[in-house]
Amino acid sequence: MSMMRRALLLAPLVSLPLLTGCVTATVDEMVFNEPVEGIGDASVVILGRRHASDYETEPDFIECVGDHISSRDNSIEVIDELDFINALYPWFEPRTAPLYPEDLEKLLQQPPVAQRLAELRTQYMIWIDGSTIRTDSAGSMTCGIGPGGAGCFGFGTWGNDSDYEATIWDFTNRAEVGRINASASGQSYMPAVVVPIPIIAPVQGTACDSVGDQLLQFLSSEY
Amino acid sequence: MSGSMISGPEGRRFTPWRALLLAVFALLSACGPSEVAVQGQFPAPLMQKLPLSLGVWYDEGFRTHEFFDEAKGRAESGWIVKTGDAQVQMWDTLLPGMFRELTHMKAKPEPGQMNQAVDAVLIPHVDELQYAIPTHTNVKVYEIWMRYRFELVSPGGKPLAEWTMTAYGKTPTAFLQSDEAAVNLAAVVALRDAGANFATNFTRVPQVQDWLAQRRNTAPRVAGNQEVEP
C-alpha cells in the first residue's frame, strides 16, 4: 500500500476527535442569597428528578455536572448522587423524594435522617430535571463486507435537543434560592465514503457545561 | 487432518465439525428468549425500627419468581426475567432495618405448625409483573411494573392483614447498553421502589393499623393487671 493511500485512509480516523457539530445553547438564571464566601466545609449534592413518566434525568448528566463543579473548584465537595440516595434510602427514591423545600422539614423530624444529613454536612441540594432527546433524523447508509474488504456508503443526519432545569435548595433555611435553565440543540452528521466519519454535536455536554458554569458561579467564591 | 485438530480442556479434541456444530448451537441459542437474572445492590433503610418481632416466610413461588413472556412475532424476542434471588436479597436487607427483630420462619405458619415465636409473620407474593422496552412503546425508557400481595398472619397462621402494593422502575436508554442490562436496571429500580413503598406505607395499611392499635391496647392492660395483682 502506497504512503499516499495509507495517509488517505488514516486521515478520517486521525481527524475524528477534531470534528464536532455546532451546538446552540441558551442559559437563564435567577439566584438569591449567593454564598459570597463560598460554602466552606459544607457539601453539595446534585440529584436528578425521576418522577416523570416519559423521560428520566440521565444519571450521567448529573455526574457530568458534579464533575464539572468539583474539577474547577476542588474546595467544593460534591456528594455522589447514588451514594447520597443509598445513604438516605428510602427517602430520596422517585416515589418519596421531597418535591418542595418545605417537605425537608417533615423529613428532618425523623432522627436517623436528620443525623445522617448532619453527618453529610449538606448545605445545598440541587435538583436537576430534564433530558436530551433526538428530534429528527434523515439519510441512509449501507455497509458491506466482501473478500476485498469492508466499507460503508451514505449519509445520515440527526438532531438533539437538551433541556434541563436546576433548582437550588438551601438546606439550612429550607428555601429555594435559585433556578438555572439551560437548553441546547445541535445537528450531527455522519457522511460515509468507505469509512463513516461521525461529526457529532455535543449537545448534552454543552448543556452540562452551561449548568455547571452557572452553579459554579453560585457556589464558588473564586468564580 | 490431525494437524487441524485442537486440543481442548480435559484432553478432548475438537474437530472442525464439532466447532461448526458449536457455532450452529451458538447461533440457534441467539434465537431463544432474552433472559435476565436480576442482580443488584440494595441499601438498608434509614428509619426508626418498629418495636415488633417480625417473622418472614418466602414461599417457593416467591423465592424462585420468574416472569416469562413469549415472543409475539418473528421480529420480537421472548423474555425471561428471573427476580426470585433479587427479591429475597432486597427484602432480607429491608426488613431487618424496619423491625426490631426479623426471623426467617422454618415453615409456613399454619394451625398446628411448630414455628419460632414472633409477633406476626409476613408472607410476600409477586402477583403480577409487566415490562416494557422501547421497541414496544416507542418511549426511550425500559420499564418494570410489579404488583405484590402481602399476608400478615399470626405464627399460628391466623390472618391479621392482607393488602396489595405496586412497584415501578424505569431506566432510560443508554449508549452501548443492551436490552438485558437495561431491563435488569429497571428491575433493580422497581425493587428499590417496592422497598420504599413498603417501608413508608406499612403502618398506614388500615388492617395493619388496626392490628397495631389492638396490640397497643392489649399490652398496657396486661401490665396494669399485673401491677394490681398480688
Q: Is the pLDDT of residue B18 over 70?
A: no
Residue A56 domain flag? yes
Q: Which residues lie closer than 8 Å to B97 by C-beta, 6 or more apart? A: B44, B45, B46, B47, B49, B199
Chain position carrying cell 426470585: B84
Residues of B with Cβ-Cβ distance to A86 under 8 angstroms: 43
Domain with A174 in it: 19-219
Which ipTM did the prediction report? 0.81
Q: Which residues 82-121 of A have a C-beta within 8 angstroms of B? A: 86-91, 93-96, 110-113, 116
Residue A6 domain flag? no
Cell numbers that stand for B177 in this block: 447498553
Q: CB distance A95–B44 less than 8 Å?
A: no
Q: CB distance A91–B46 less than 8 Å?
A: yes
Determine the pLDDT at residue B2.
35
Letter for the amino acid at A111? Answer: P
Distance in angstroms (rounded) separating the CA atoms of residues B110 and A165 = 55
Residues of B with Cβ-Cβ distance to A119 under 8 angstroms: none
* Tally of CB atoms within 10 A around B130: 12
Q: Which residues lie closer than 8 Å to A202 by C-beta, 6 or more apart? A: A20, A21, A23, A186
Report the helix count and the strand count for chain B, using DSSP H and E.
6, 10
Q: CB distance B46–A111 less than 8 Å?
A: no
Q: Kindly identify which residue of chain B lies nearest to residue A82, measuring between CA atoms.
A: B43
Q: Kindly identify which residue of chain B lies nearest to residue A60, measuring between CA atoms.
A: B174
Residue A139 domain flag? yes
Determine the pLDDT at residue B3.
36
Domain limits, chain B: 32-38+49-222
Distance in angstroms (rounded) separating the CA atoms of residues B129 and B168 = 10
Residue A2 domain flag? no
pLDDT tens by residue, B107-143? 899 888 778 889 999 999 999 999 888 877 777 788 9
CB contact A58 to B (< 8 Å): yes
Residue A66: CATH number of its domain: 3.40.50
Residues of B with Cβ-Cβ distance to A133 under 8 angstroms: 140
Determine the pLDDT at residue A14.
52
Question: What is the three-class DSSP state of B36?
Answer: strand
Residues of A with Cβ-Cβ distance to B139 under 8 angstroms: 54
Residues of A with Cβ-Cβ distance to B46 under 8 angstroms: 87-91, 112-113, 116
Q: How many CB pairs under 8 A join A and B?
A: 55
Mutation for testing the B interface, residue in A54, A58, A89 having most B CBs under 10 Å: A89
Distance of CA B105 to the CA centre of its chain: 17
Q: Is the pLDDT of residue B172 over 70?
A: yes
Contact B94, A89 (CB under 8 A): no
Q: How many domains does chain A have?
A: 1
Residues of A with Cβ-Cβ distance to B192 under 8 angstroms: 89-90, 93
pLDDT tens by residue, B55-107? 999 999 999 999 988 877 766 778 899 999 999 999 999 999 999 999 999 98
CB-based burial label for A164 (10 Å; 0-12, 13-18, 19+):
buried
Average pLDDT per run of 10 along chain A, which is 223 residues long? 54 58 89 77 92 86 96 93 96 94 91 94 94 91 89 94 96 90 95 92 95 93 80
Residue A5 domain flag? no
CA distance B44 to chain A (A): 7
- Which numeric CATH code is attached to B32-38+49-222? 3.40.50.10610
Of A6, A26, A47, A32, give the one whose Cα is nearest residue A129. A47
